[in-house]
Every structure is written in C-alpha cells, then in structure tokens.
Amino acid sequence: MTDAHSHIDSCITEVWELLERIGRETTDSPGITRAAWSRNEEMAADLVRAFARRHGLQVLNDAFGNVQFLLPGVDPATPCVTTGSHLDSVPHGGNYDGLAGIAAGLAVLAAANADPVNRTRPFRAVAMRCEESPWFGTAYLGSRLMLGLSTLDEIGDLVRSDSGKSLRHHIQHLGYPRTDGALAPLLNSGLVTSFLELHIEQGPLLESDSIPVGIATAVRGNVRFPDARCIGAYGHSAALPRRFRQDAVLAVAELALGLDGYWKDRIAQGDEDFVFTVGKFSTDAAQHAMTKVAGDVKFTLNIGAAVKTSLDAARTLLFDLIRGIENDRGVTFELGREVGTTPTRLDTTLIALIEDTAGALGIATRRMPTVGHDAAMFVRAGIPSAVILVRNANGSHNSDEALDREDFAGGVHVLGRAMHRLANAR
C-alpha cells in the first residue's frame, strides 16, 4: 500500500467503533431514531466532531448545524474534493443509513492527516442534517441550507412531525448559529470541485448478486403526497349492499393495486425503474369498528423513478385512476400538498473513475440507479457528483439494517483512492 493510504485501515477501525457507539447512544427500540435537529442527532454530531478534533482536523459549523471537516493546512475557502452524508435517521430505522458515509469521510481525512505528505490535501468532509423526509415532510433540508438552495426564511416555518415545532425553533434551540468558532461558509461549485457520497445500498441487489460495491448512475426522483386522504361514508357492515357503499378502505386499496398493476406491466416490458409505496394507511381510531364500513382513510403515497418521463407518466396514471375510482365508488380523494424532487443523473466521468478505482483494488462493482441522497442537491448546485453504494443486508429504513465491516472497509478504500486521484488531477 502506498504512503498516501498507509493509515487508512487503522482509521477504518476507529470510525467503525464510532459508528457502533453512536448506534448504542441513539438506540430507540426497535432500531435507531435520530430525528432531525433533535437531541439524538446533535449527540451524533458531537461525537463526530470530537473524533475529528482528536485526529487534528478542522471542525466548522455552519449557521444551521451542518458540520464541515478539513485537514489542518487547508483554508476553508479552498476548492475541495468533498465527501459526506447525513446524521439523521428515519423513526426506528437503522444505524448506517447516512452515518456510514460520514464515518467513511472522516476515515479518509484522518488517514491523510496522519501522513505528512497529505496534510494539505484539498479534502472536505461534511455531516449534514435532515436528509430524511419524515421529520418535516420533505427531504434534504440540511444540504439545501448548506448549499444555499433554500433559505431559513423560505423553509423555517416547516413543522417537525413529532414535536409540532418549527424548523427555525429546532435550529435555534440547539444553539445555531454558534458563536464559539469560525462559521463554515455556504458551499457552492466554487468550493466543491466534486462530491462523492458513500452510502449503504438500501435495497437487496448487491446482496443478491454477491457484489460488494455499487456505483449509482442516477438518483431517483419522486412525487410524494404525505397527507393524502380518501373520504367516503360510514355505514353498517352487514346491512349495506355493495352498490350503496362508499368504502374508503377499498377505494385506497384499489388505487394501490392499480399502481401495482402498472408496476408489474413495466417490469414485464423490461423496465424496473418505477417504484411506489403506500407507507402509511390508517382509518380513524375514534370512528372505525369491525362492524362499520370505513368512511375515512388517511394515507401517504410515494412514487419514484430515475427518468423524468417515467415519473410524469406515473403521475398522470395516478390521477386517471383516482377519477375512475371516485366515479365508481362515490368517494373523494384529497391528496393534499405535493412534494418531490426531479430525477438526477450523476456524473459519468466520476462514475468511470470510481469503477476504475474499485477494479484496481480488486473490488467487484455494478452500476445501478439509487434512491434519494444528498448528492442530488450537490448536482442541483452545479457540482459533479457520484454515489458509492456499499452492500447492506436486510435493506434500510428498518431496524434490521445491517452492514458488514469488511464491506464498509472496501467502500472506504474505494472512496479514499478516488478522492486522492481527483486531488492529483487538479
């Protein structure tokens, strides 16, 4: 191993211990919960800051609680090869979604700082807040603020789902912006030459194919309705014939099955890009009963695709299905606010570089689309970006999420080598 990478294995061991400690500290059985701008997310931020300082790295907080890490000899205004991911988790999720990417970046920077030759490498790592959408009903809030894509004036009144308090309140409650050090600058294409995000794969493909590393070709866009509702009419379960029923449960079920049928047709035609999920589905606890036809259902709907035309076609189908179900069943759908992101193509030059780097290390890879990651916001900011996916058993957004240490180490080696190659090419 060359001098540039001679310290990476010991740093991987240390960040793995950091990952495990944060997991223990933020356990919320079943699984892990690090709500955006919460005590648990701040605890994770404190632990990664402490790790970075122990390894001699610069630590800078921005006005919103995102954290930037730099090698000691690097001016914060220097254009840098940048890596990182997010601190938060979904409710009762896994420990590695997001956090593994932060740990990987810290390992690369700590290893570089341990080698006198590399202490002025133009490297930056970031730990971002609130990538997950359940907390404020929309994703990427931390990276959007960090990159200047959104302002606190624009999004500060968003309300966190568990607390009922505003985004602005939560940021201020944690003491941001802090006055105990230099404020990290907003990032842009002048300060970030490229962005590489290491992230666990959140599905089964790498595990199924026995391939340790994936290289994302695109980040799926999505159309989401977090507050959807179907209104029918309550009735007696035994006395009401079908033709008189306005059954909200069956109406939403028919909508879901219609989208599922479309999904199966797409797969049969060789296109596996489309996905959709009904993540929440509930009748009114104050009114529902075994002997009542349900007159009210609240649900969420999340449609995703890596190609905009696919996303647009699915959205059109959704409204066509709704019109037909409303006419047939006498119900009314109120989808509420619509949020989402456009599909994002990742940088082909970076994809090829990562593929070549992994090949040189003897690590097998496959190209594949991926789900929402902060890298999509870097692309929106005009920054060449890529995502390195690490094999992960049991999927993600669940308490059984698992990451093998050796797979993580392989991903960190690929990330580190790729970052050094990019720095050398400047």
* Pairwise CA distance, residues 113 & 96, whole Å: 25
Within 10 A of 72 (CB to CB), how many other CB atoms are there?
11
The whole-angstrom separation of Cα 10 and Cα 7 is 6
Work out the mean pLDDT of the chain and round it to a whole number: 95
Which of 154, 101, 150, 149 shows the shortest CA–CA distance to 128?
Answer: 101
> Is the CA virtual torsion 40, 42, 45, 50 positive or negative?
negative
pLDDT at 338: 95
DSSP-assigned states of every residue in 115-141: SGGGTT--EEEEEES--SSTTTSSS-H
Q: Cβ distance 412 to 197 under 8 Å?
A: no
Q: Report pLDDT for 3.
A: 46
Which of 118, 109, 124 is CA-nearest to residue 79? Answer: 124
Domains and CATH numbers, the chain: 3-220+343-424 (3.40.630.10), 221-341 (3.30.70.360)
Can you tell me the mean pLDDT for 162-188?
Answer: 94
Q: What is the mean pLDDT of residues 252-267?
A: 97
State mean pLDDT over 269-294: 95
Residue 271 has a pLDDT of: 87
Band the pLDDT of 75: cuts 50, 70, 90.
very high
371 pLDDT exceeds 50?
Answer: yes
Report pLDDT for 5: 62
In this structure, the strands spanning 365-370 and 213-219 are parallel
* pLDDT(2) > 60: no
Does position 1 have pLDDT exceeding 60, yes or no?
no
Over range 193-209, report the average pLDDT: 95
77: helix, coil or strand?
Answer: coil
Write the pLDDT tens digit of every residue in 315-355. 999 999 999 999 999 999 999 999 988 999 999 999 999 99
- What pLDDT score was predicted for residue 21? 98
Task: Give the global pTM.
Answer: 0.88
| Full DSSP string of 146-171 | HTTSS-HHHHTT-B-TTT--BHHHHH
What's the average model confidence in pLDDT over 194-200?
A: 98
Please report, rounded to a whole number, the percentage of residues in the chain having pLDDT higher than 70. Answer: 99
Q: What is the pLDDT of residue 29?
A: 94
Summarize pLDDT for 151-168 with one digit per residue, the tens.
999 999 999 999 999 999
